[in-house]
Structure 1
Amino acid sequence: MKKGSFLALLLAAALAVVTGCSSSSSTQPQTPSSPTETAAPTEGGSLTIASESEPGNLNPHIWATSSDTFVTHMIFDSLVIPDKELKMVGSLAEKWDVSEDGNTYTFHLQKNVKWHDGTPFTAKDVAFTFSSLAKPEYDAGGYWRVSPVVGAEEVHEGKAQEVTGIKVIDDHTISFTTMEKFAPFLSGLFIGIVPEHLLKDVSPKEWAKHDFNRNPVGTGPFQFVKWESGQYIELKANKEYFKGAPKLDKIVARFGDTNTMLAAFINREVDVAPVPIAEIPSIQSLDYAELKVANQLSMYYIGFNALNEHFQDKKVRQALAYAIDKQSIVGSILGEYGKVSFDVFPMNHWSHNPDVPQYPYDPAKAEALLQEAGYAKNGKGIYEKGGKELTFTLEVPTGKTEREKTAALIKQYFEKIGVNMELRALDFPTLVTKLLPKNADGTQRKVTADDYHAYILGFGVEADPDEYRSYFGSKYMPPNGYNFVSYSDPKVDQLLEQQVAEVDMEKRKGLFWEVGKKLAEDEIWIPLYEQEAPYVANKRLVGFDPDFRGPTFNAKDWAVTQ
């Protein structure tokens, strides 16, 4: 399809809707037509914001993804939150003190905070939340957040019942004591607090199946109303929010692929939507549309299952990296909104090492590495080893146009050198079931070589680069963390453990630079590019300011002009 023709079709469809009759049977909340730019924001009103994927969980402690936090950031509060400079500032915690030895953090909590059901929030809820993450029956990815606390390891191993390093001093004061100085401790506390009174009698292994996961209760600026599967989630304002009531009365989060949501925006059913980069010039021609571009501290990459026999050899992974023309991908798909990436750490963050090993486009080098790894082309022109062709499937989550186009180009690049890669399109929640598989009884289990071969996703720094420890540390393979590529390297393990105890910023930076260098040598992830995130917003919306923390992070401050 020629550039611009997709938007033309959408505009024609929008015109048909405006001039024709609309169906009264639609279940989707409708958004009024936009007013003039000079209209002043009002108190109340509602808006609809679109997401590329439906959430999998609304309990923030169950394998939280960006699709989940898109909604949960509006429902739940955490003790601390990152500001735009990644400095941790208070949220449910009004302030905190750190002991002279740097091991004990005492948090003084906000008073007069209530859960959405009216129950008072206390320090017991904080203790319950983080103590639950240490329990052996908890297997949903968050143990690393509490693991540095005294007594957490004993609870996790089933040797104790209480995390002794967590102490409730009174209703509004709680302390955490770590085993040693732990540099990223505060950033690990950036996760929603859940209510003790609703979950205390529910085993953490049942959280994913419990009604709370589909009907959450938080302390945040918006409270849950309903979830229409495959369509939308509706939230209403928490009028008693301790930071002040939101300006809006209601927010609806709709789900659908990028093109569908862009069509909904043009039809004025949606106020905010992610916009494919190719459509930016056209969408800007709409007099009611405003482009907002979020700088993301993240990069897109291909991840390999290290248990797969082909990907156990890093020469194969390096060969595939050389086979990808990243510059052409960025130039043809992302343009000014993207940059080629060779490091797993984002370029605008201090953890990024500009001198990591790089793999520029070199098909001849790619084939030479495959031959060094013992592969040879068969009669069909496909590399094989031991009679097994280098053929695999790349899992491609739908919903993001640029990612889907990238996968198609990479398939062509691999075919040119004699590697057969099939593409499998699937929605994001389904991909999660492959990366974080479960047993028949619903409990998490280890990844196997048969669960998947490779996938394409994005990842980056949310609050602190220590988050990467759960993705590359040997002891964090599912069900204990997010290391679903099953990567294991003693040097990386050592560096990741050293950085958590290093309070000297320059030394900690050096440790991460070494981690980045080693990961680039091994290429268990192939970094592809960094991409800015464009959103189109109806001008009736005031205060929409997306950044690396997500598009809904400041939803409390949004208003509409009618």
Structure 2
Amino acid sequence: MKKKLIALGLVVAMLFALTACGGSNGDEGASSTSSSSEATGSTAEKVQFVVPYDEDPGTADVAKTTEFYALPLNMFDRLVESVTVAPGKSELVPGLAETWEVSDDGLVYTFHLRKGALFQNGDEVKAEDVYFTFDRMLDPATEGLNTDFFDMISGAEARMNGEADSTEGIKIVDDYTLEITLDEPFGPFVAGLATPAGSVYCKKAVLEAGDQFGIDPALTVGSGPFKLAEWTVNDKIVLEAFDNYWGGRAQYDELVLKIVPDAETARMLFESGEIDVFNCDMARSQIPYFESNDKWKELIVSGPRVGVYYICLNQSIEPLGDVRVRKALQMAIDRENMLAQMFYGKGQLVNGIMPPGLYGYNSDLPEIPYDPEAAKALLAEAGYPDGFAFEVAQETDSPNTLKINEIIQSDLAKIGVDVTITQLDESTFFGIRKTGELPSYYSSWSADFNDPDNFIYTFFTEKNAVSRSFNYVNADIQQKIEDARIMTNAEERIATYQEIEKTIVHDDAAWIPLFELDHLFVVQPYVKNYTVAWNGWSDQSYYSIQIEK
């Protein structure tokens, strides 16, 4: 998934990338555990980088979480890393794999591990560890939550179904060589391995830790630039710089995740100097304050999210089955006003599914205009001159989403559409959504890996179109989505995705694209080299940070 800037090793890694492959979010009495390395003396002399985190992540094990990635991105390495090379731009570079090759038929990937990369227990990273990690994710006993990054591997389905004791398509060639065979070509495979899901674990440490791996600092071992040292539940997590990190020791001593659920508290802690960065996503209402404050306005670091905000239209609920109605709704939303009202204009409108910065982004898509009169004409043509009743759903306890939906309600009222906003608890919302029966809704999606598949396939295959309550049906386009996954010609593949996107959004009006947002952080003046992750996640690697007090 993401970002791993390497202070000393990045230049070398970038050079490797050129030849690597060919053809990628304090309860009283809370328990506290720490490793023996904590008892090394006073922490007063240690240089810390303190980051607010709005919820205790519960685990560092990516087999057990799909939401909280700050720990794995800093504690573990992946075979391949996705680094931020410019705002909203990424590049795949070598991680634990120095080089890799892909067979001509796009089925066999051979990874050559760097020698001398160590786990934090002193063991060298070997191919056996990589095999164990990936096979563990697919093992049904693990109940892994990120199997979709590996289910294209030959034998993965049999492993997940309990029909096999190992994953046939993963082969240890020797201590430093791993071969992975896919059932079919899959263009984004390497990019997927660069996500947190691809984090590599020490086999010996995981087996010794059992169900405490990713929880107990003394039993959780990685090969990344920071090692887990202390975890006080709902208070803070302390990670220490790993002296023997293969890319070079981090330039500060401790990374601290401070659990701060309340945005106002986080802002006060930041202004008092108790935390080192303020994520404006925690409270976008603070953006004008920071931008007008002489102390902070020059310390704002921003970058575009590689993500898109959108409105899902459930085509199985009439009259949304009529493309003219869907196009009318597209033109009736004042997206520019929504961006200005809700997000202070910090972003840009998008006209498709793939956002700027994503591999394959098409900047030449037609603009969707704000045109209420044209929308009214389309509704009249479709047989709804007086409008219709329209329901939108959202989760409860989401005031920002409610405000967005109220803007939608106001805009659509201008063309005679009467919007009802239905609020559901989280489990009910997602439970109904997966059946295909959830009313239309506003949501967002940010890139996990830099490939069109992460957006197009996620929403519009036959299965996913139902499970996300789009109920989009276009057999030709849905077959093309499946075909694009296995194309080995990059230019042909991107052209296919751009054709698919134009049809879905502009011909079939299957969803309403809104905007991409900028991600803003405010940093303390002594924090240097802070980079916004290319995909706009709040969770990112902090290895490249420098603290100059």
User: Normalising by structure 2, what TM-score?
Assistant: 0.75
**Pairs aligned (count):** 493
Cα offsets for 1:347-383 (capped at 9, x unmatched): 3444223454654223345456566767686xxxx83
Find the aligned partners of 2:483 and 2:404 in 1 and give their Cα distance: 36
Matching of residues 142-541 of structure 1 within 5 Å: 142-156=146-160, 158-190=162-194, 191-197=198-204, 210-212=211-213, 214-215=215-216, 217-227=221-231, 231-253=235-257, 254-256=259-261, 258-275=263-280, 279-284=286-291, 285-287=293-295, 290-303=299-312, 317-334=326-343, 337-356=346-365, 358-366=367-375, 383-384=388-389, 390-395=390-395, 398=398, 406-416=404-414, 417-422=416-421, 424=423, 431=426, 433=427, 447-449=434-436, 454-460=441-447, 462-468=449-455, 470-472=457-459, 474=461, 477=464, 489-520=474-505, 521-541=507-527
Could you tell me how far apart the structure 1 residues matched to 2:193 and 2:547 are? Answer: 33
Contact 1:447 1:486 in 2 (8 A): no
> Counterpart of 2:48?
46
Q: Distance in 2 between matches of 1:53 and 1:368?
A: 48
Distance 1:365 1:103, change over 3 A: same
Equivalent in the alignment of 2:91: 87
Deviation, 1:94, is 1.9
Q: Distance in 1 between matches of 2:141 and 2:379?
A: 43
Query: What is the SS of the residue equivalent to 1:343?
Result: coil
Distance in 2, Cα, partners of 1:187 & 1:463 = 7
Shift of 1:469: 5.1
Aligned equivalent of 1:547: 533
* Shift, 1:528, TM fit: 0.9
SS in 2 for 1:339: strand
SS at match of 1:251: strand
Q: CA deviation at 1:476?
A: 5.8
- Note the residue ranges of structure 2 that are not aligned, 5 or more in a row: 1-27, 31-43
Deviation at 1:345, TM superposition (A): 0.4
Change (3 A) 1:58 1:487: farther
C-alpha displacement at 1:513, in angstroms?
0.2
The answer (yes or no) to whether the contact 1:110–1:172 under 8 Å persists in 2 is yes
Cα drift, residue 537 of structure 1? 0.3
Alpha-carbon offset, residue 73 of structure 1: 1.2
* CA gap 1:446/1:328 in 2 versus in 1, 3 angstroms: closer
Alpha-carbon displacement from aligned partner over 1:132-160 (angstroms, at most 9, x marks no partner): 44456776553342233333344345554
- Report how far residue 184 of structure 1 moved: 2.1
Contact kept in structure 1, 2:395 and 2:429, CA below 8 Å: no
| Partner Cα separation in structure 1 for residue 140 and residue 434 of structure 2 | 19
Shift of residue 327, structure 1, vs aligned partner: 1.6
Q: Residue deviations 1:465-490, cap 9 Å, x none? A: 22225513547649xx9857565643
Corresponding residue SS for 1:557: coil
- CA distance in 2 between partners of 1:343 and 1:126 (Å): 37
Question: Shift of the alpha carbon at 1:561?
Answer: 2.4
Which amino acid is the alignment partner of residue 252 of structure 1?
V
Stretch deviating more after TM superposition (224-233 or 80-89): 224-233
Cα displacement (A) at 1:394: 2.4
Query: Counterpart in 1 of 2:38?
Result: none
Are the aligned partners of 2:154 and 2:181 in contact in 1 as well (CA < 8 Å)?
Answer: yes
Q: Does 1:125 align with 2:129?
A: yes
**Contact 2:433–2:468 (8 Å) recurs in 1:** no
Helix, strand or coil: the match of 1:464? coil
CA deviations over 1:44-101 (Å, ceiling 9, x no partner): 4112223466647633244624xx2234311221110123253321111122233455
Mean Cα deviation higher: 221-230 or 69-78: 221-230
| Compared CA separation, residues 133 and 418, structure 1 to 2 (3 A) | same
Q: 1:344 to 1:43 in 2, by over 3 A?
A: farther
- Whether the 8 Å CA contact 2:106–2:185 is kept in 1: the answer is yes
Cα distance in 1 for residues equivalent to 2:230 and 2:312 = 35
1:420 positional shift: 2.4
Q: Do the aligned partners of residues 233 and 320 (structure 1) sit closer, same or farther apart at CA in structure 2, a change above 3 Å counting? A: farther
Unaligned runs of 5+ in 1: 1-24, 28-41, 385-389, 438-444
- 2:7 aligns with none
Instruction: Assess if the C-alpha contact under 8 Å between 2:360 and 2:451 holds in 1.
Output: no
Distance in 1 (CA, whole Å) between partners of 2:377 and 2:531 is 48
- Residues 465 and 414 of structure 1: CA distance in aligned 2, closer, same or farther (over 3 Å): same
Aligned to 2:246, what secondary structure does the other structure show? coil
Pick which of 343-352 and 97-106 moved more.
Answer: 97-106
- In the alignment, the residues of structure 1 paired with residue 314 and residue 228 of structure 2 have an alpha-carbon distance, to the nearest angstrom, of 37
Secondary structure of residue in 2 paired with 1:131: helix
1:105 maps onto 2:109 in alignment: yes
Q: CA deviation at 1:533?
A: 0.9
Any conservation in 2 of the 1:150–1:165 contact (CA below 8 Å)?
Answer: yes
RMSD: 4.1
Is the 1:77–1:192 Cα contact (8 Å) retained in structure 2? yes
Q: Which residue of 1 aligns with 2:40?
A: none
Amino acid at match of 1:459: S
Residue 545 (structure 1) shift: 1.5
Q: Tell me how far apart the structure 2 counterparts of residues 26 and 271 of structure 1 sit (CA, whole Å).
A: 26
CA gap of 1:558–1:412, structure 2 versus 1, over 3 A, is same
Give, in angstroms, the shift of residue 293 of structure 1: 0.8
- In the superposition, the TM-score normalised over structure 1's length comes to 0.74
1:204-226 CA distance string (max 9 Å, x none): xxx9xx54454554322223345
CA distance in 2 between counterparts of 1:347 and 1:329 reads: 19
Change (3 A) 1:306 1:418: closer
* Matched AA of 2:487: E
Question: Partner of 2:130: helix, strand, or coil?
Answer: helix
Change (3 A) 1:125 1:532: same
> Which residue of structure 2 aligns with residue 60 of structure 1?
62
Q: Give the fraction of aligned pairs with identical amino acids, expressed as a percent.
A: 25
CA–CA separation in structure 2 for the residues paired with 1:396 and 1:463: 31
Q: Secondary structure at the match of 1:532?
A: strand
Q: Hey, what's the Cα distance between the residues in 2 that align with 1:420 and 1:56?
A: 39
Inter-partner Cα distance in structure 1 for 2:99 and 2:245: 18
Q: 1:270: Cα distance to partner?
A: 1.8
Distance 1:350 1:250, change over 3 A: closer
> How far is the alpha carbon of 1:447 from its aligned partner?
1.8
| Distance across 1 between alignment mates of 2:325 and 2:229 | 50
Cα distance between partner residues in 1 of 2:152 and 2:169: 9
Return the letter of the residue paired with 1:222.
F
Give the Cα separation in 1 of the matches to 2:525 and 2:82: 27
